[in-house]
Amino acid sequence: MSKYIIEAENVKKYFPIKGGVFSKVVGYVKAVDDVSLKIEKGTCMALVGESGCGKTTFGRVLLKLIEPDAGKILFEGKDLAKVKGKKLREMRKDMQMVFQDPNSSLDPRFTVKNIIGEPFSNFTNIKGEELVKRILELLNLVGLKKEHLYRYPHEFSGGQRQRIAVARAIALDPKFIVLDEPTSALDVSVQAKILNLFQDLQEKFDLSYLFITHDLSVAKHMADNIGVMYVGKLVETSATEPLFEEPLHPYTQALLSAIPVADPEYKVERIILKGDVPSPANPPSGCRFHPRCPKAMEICSKEEPELKKVGDGRLVACHLY
């Protein structure tokens, strides 16, 4: 058995751009462009980067919610491209997702009982009193109560709605969950409770996470390893502690320098990036970060750097190394 829950190799996902009278394909949005990533069982991998860099698309491709255009994705050593029909349906129980916006991910016409009970209806024969008992156990796990059972999503706060979404995601004892910015729509105090809930559930059920976020403080709190994405490419991966102590890629350095510190005496040199994030439909030649990079060299505009091993288990795509 592989020690990795997920192994993604050279994954690509391009979305066609259509134009003209006959809606011909005139280009492609390179949302995920040749990304390779491994997630160990029982760990949390955070994927960070600016909005629009391809994090969410990559998470959905891993779960086969979107078909990749190229590359290979292994789930517990099994190639997802070769799994279809009933076998894929069976594997769906082991792979779940908690979406960014609990408002749109919960059916407003369903009660909590219907929402959390739906996975059981689709994948098991559990019904009646046994079903209600299981739903109540899940509600208790995520910090909700029995009286919430017959309420509708609009009757809850944002944090409570996200707890319902979490209860639905863990209903069938999954092994791997993609958490797509699950706290970005919540108040700070509620965020902390939801993050602690994720950690408690991970410990209790030995879950593996891909945690998609643009908040590096949250990534530091949650993740064992961090991957940094920029315009569809992975530019650095590392264990969390070394990455925060010594970021190697100039883009990672800029991201970390922007984290606010609650200490007026603490001085940090802010790295202000020039220009805007380039379009994934028309990325720059060579290194995609070179037009904004304060350390750019002549080679950066001509040759695309490979993601290479630097030091103990760290991978960096930069000509400086």
Model pLDDT for residues 240-281, shown as the tens digit of each residue: 999 999 999 999 999 988 777 777 777 777 777 888 888 898
Asked if pLDDT for residue 1 goes beyond 80, the answer is no
DSSP class of residue 92 equals G
Whole-number Å distance between alpha carbons of 122 and 125? 8
Average pLDDT, stretch 158-184?
Answer: 91
Quote the number of domains for the chain. 1
Whole-number Å distance between alpha carbons of 132 and 137? 9
Please give the single-letter amino acid code of residue 125.
N
Model pLDDT for residues 48-95, shown as the tens digit of each residue: 988 888 999 999 999 999 999 999 999 998 889 888 888 888 888 999
List 48's β-bridge partners, or say none: 228
Please check whether residue 182 lies inside any domain of the structure. yes
Average pLDDT, stretch 289-318?
Answer: 90
Average pLDDT, stretch 32-40?
Answer: 93
Q: Which two tokens stand for residue 175?
A: 């092994």
Residue 192 binned pLDDT confidence (cut-offs 50, 70, 90): confident
**Do the Cβ atoms of 161 and 110 come closer than 8 Å?**
no
**In this predicted structure, what is the pLDDT of residue 103?**
84
Q: Which of 189, 148, 163 is nearest to 102 (CA)?
A: 163
**In this predicted structure, what is the pLDDT of residue 59?**
94
Please check whether residue 321 lies inside any domain of the structure. no
DSSP class of residue 94 equals G
Q: Which two tokens stand for residue 159?
A: 């944090």
Please give the single-letter amino acid code of residue 300.
C
Q: Which domain holds residue 101?
A: 4-316
Q: Which of 269, 235, 261 is nearest to 250 (CA)?
A: 235
**In this predicted structure, what is the pLDDT of residue 296?**
87
Whole-number Å distance between alpha carbons of 72 and 207? 22
Helix count (H) and strand count (E) of the chain? 10, 12
**In this predicted structure, what is the pLDDT of residue 193?**
87
**CATH number of the domain that 269 lies in?**
3.40.50.300
Average pLDDT, stretch 289-303?
Answer: 90
Model pLDDT for residues 195-250, shown as the tens digit of each residue: 999 999 999 999 999 999 988 888 998 999 999 999 999 999 999 999 999 999 99
Model pLDDT for residues 101-127, shown as the tens digit of each residue: 888 889 999 999 999 999 999 898 888
